[in-house]
């Protein structure tokens, strides 16, 4: 969804911004999936998790555990608030389905709301996006204090919510006051983790001799990074395929950018280089070098050229296969000769073994 993708790309390499996001997901008739989930994220790092199956709020970072110990009332209040939101979202979800004349089937209702804070300028901006069945549905304009229907089917809901001034006041208070307050608190607790800088390992990869060369960086943090190819010092935009920044299982990130070399002559390879840029880290520059490319096809010859196979690679397995076939045939002949006087040989076979008022409630 467009507004969701915008929210997931809050960071940029040029500015130091922090974000707090609350992601609520309600669903109906989705197998093996909780009816309600709530996820908290600071700077795109998951900090807490709640679902309707466990009804427990679980911290996902060590520094969130410290907050829980330092302020147990806060954590207990937030847990109760998530339980209240679970019931509230069930009601909202059912109302939306009525507006859309839906009586059953698989449906998903999702809300992302929170704020961004620039710790250099002090600017704060709140945001709210609502999606339904994988499409943008509604968004909240904080400046005009009104809802915007992102598709025609959302118009009924927009009119209903715009008339609920109490809801608007509560949402505005959360986005402008409480969200920045807790975001700054979370950043203070998690600064050593959130503000750390980790350089990546960068590799050149290629699937086949005719495939694009991929410059792959993994293990970096934070995600405020850029990577691009350049020739003779100039950034390239043609024959380049940039990839998305993706999370690794350990909380770090990875990304790649492909370069199509189909029209590049071998003598021009030395003019190309991959540049990885990460906030607070000197650029990592990787020269385009055939000898440095990691691939799953073999290289032969002194010129770095490639070959689809080598004769030795084929002869060895063929000999092994022939020996195996000879062995199996011999085994069957032996069994046949041994059992020809038996009364029944038909069975012969071979077997292989939150406190009130501090949190947005829709």
Look at 169-173, 286-290, 343-347 and tell me which has the smallest mean pLDDT: 343-347
Residue 354 confidence class, pLDDT cut points 50, 70, 90: very low
Domain spans in the chain, listed from the N-terminal domain onward: 2-194, 201-295
Interatomic CA distance for residues 111 and 118, integer angstroms: 23
pLDDT tops 90 at residue 119: no
Q: How far is CA 125 from CA 46, 99, 114, 136, 140, in A?
A: 20, 31, 9, 20, 12
Confidence of residue 352 (pLDDT cuts 50, 70, 90): very low
The residue among 76 and 350 whose pLDDT is bigger is: 76
DSSP annotation of 291 reads G
Q: Is the pLDDT of residue 215 over 90?
A: yes
CA angle 139, 142, 145 (to 5 degrees): 90
pLDDT per residue over 174-193, tens digit each?
999 999 999 999 999 999 99
Kind of pairing between the strands at 135-141 and 234-235? unpaired
Predicted confidence (pLDDT) at residue 305 exceeds the cutoff of 80: no
Q: What is the DSSP string of 104-141?
A: SS-EEEEEEEEEEEETTT--EEEEEEEEETTEEEEEEE
How confident is the model over 265-283, as a mean pLDDT?
91
Please give the sequence-ordered ranges of beta strands (E in DSSP) within the chain, or none if there are none. Answer: 17-28, 36-42, 45-51, 58-59, 107-118, 124-132, 135-141, 146-149, 201-206, 213-220, 225-231, 234-235, 240-242, 246-247, 253-259, 272-278, 281-287, 293-295
pTM: 0.68
Identify the architecture of domain 2-194 in CATH: 2-Layer Sandwich (3.30)
**Looking at residue 30, what DSSP letter applies?**
-
Which among 20, 61, 55, 25 is positioned nearest to 41, based on CA atoms? Answer: 20
Contact 108, 27 (CB under 8 A): yes
Calculate mean pLDDT across residues 132-143. 95
What are 219-238's pLDDT values in tens digits? 999 888 999 999 999 999 98
Residue 341, pLDDT above cutoff 80: no
Q: Which residues have CB under 8 Å from 150's CB, separation 6+?
A: 3, 135, 136, 137, 138, 139
Chain-centroid distance, C-alpha 234: 30
Instruction: Supply the DSSP symbol for 299.
Output: B
User: Measured at the alpha carbon of residue 156, what is the angle toward residues 109 and 359, in degrees to the nearest 5?
Assistant: 50
Q: How far apart are CA 253 and CA 351, in angstroms?
A: 48
- Confidence at 133, pLDDT banded by 50, 70, 90: very high
- Give residue-wise pLDDT tens across range 63-106: 999 988 898 888 889 999 999 999 999 999 999 999 999 988 89
d(CA 8, CA 3): 9
Provide the phi-psi class of 242: left if phi over 0, else alpha when psi is between -120 and 50, else beta: beta
Residues 291/299, Cβ–Cβ less than 8 Å: no
- CATH label, 201-295, candidates 2.70.70.10, 3.40.50.280, 3.40.50.150, 2.60.40.10: 2.60.40.10
Examine the pLDDT at 148 and tell me if it is beyond 60.
yes
């Amino acid at each position: 969804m467009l507004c969701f993708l915008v929210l997931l790309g809050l960071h940029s390499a040029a500015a130091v911004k922090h974000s707090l996001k609350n992601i609520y997901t309600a669903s109906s008739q989705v197998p093996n999936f909780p009816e309600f989930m709530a996820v908290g994220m600071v700077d795109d790092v998951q900090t807490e998790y709640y679902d309707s199956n466990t009804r427990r709020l679980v911290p996902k970072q060590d520094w969130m555990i410290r907050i829980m110990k330092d302020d147990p009332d806060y954590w207990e209040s937030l847990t109760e608030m998530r339980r209240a939101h679970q019931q509230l979202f069930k009601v909202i979800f059912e109302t939306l389905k009525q507006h859309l004349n839906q009586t059953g089937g698989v449906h998903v209702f999702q809300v992302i709301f929170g704020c961004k804070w620039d710790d250099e300028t002090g600017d704060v901006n709140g945001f709210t996006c609502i999606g339904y069945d994988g499409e943008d549905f509604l968004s909240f304009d904080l400046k005009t204090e009104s809802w915007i229907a992102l598709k025609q089917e959302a118009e009924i809901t927009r009119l209903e919510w715009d008339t609920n001034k109490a809801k608007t006041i509560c949402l505005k208070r959360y986005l402008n006051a409480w969200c920045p307050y807790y975001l700054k608190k979370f950043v203070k607790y998690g600064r050593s983790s959130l503000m750390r800088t980790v350089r990546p390992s960068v590799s050149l990869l290629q699937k086949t001799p005719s495939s694009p060369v991929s410059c792959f960086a993994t293990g970096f943090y934070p995600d405020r990074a850029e990577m691009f190819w350049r020739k003779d010092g100039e950034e390239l935009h043609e024959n380049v395929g940039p990839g998305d920044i993706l999370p690794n299982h350990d909380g770090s990130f990875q990304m790649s950018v492909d370069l199509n070399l189909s029209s590049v002559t071998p003598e021009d390879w030395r003019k190309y280089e991959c540049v990885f840029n990460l906030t607070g880290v000197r650029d990592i520059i990787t020269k385009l070098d055939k000898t440095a490319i990691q691939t799953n096809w073999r290289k032969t010859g002194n010129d770095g050229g490639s070959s689809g196979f080598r004769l030795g690679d084929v002869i060895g397995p063929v000999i092994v296969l022939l020996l195996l076939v000879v062995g199996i045939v011999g085994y069957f002949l032996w069994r046949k000769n041994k059992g020809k006087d038996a009364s029944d040989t038909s069975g012969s076979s071979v077997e292989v073994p939150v406190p009130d008022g501090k949190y947005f409630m829709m």
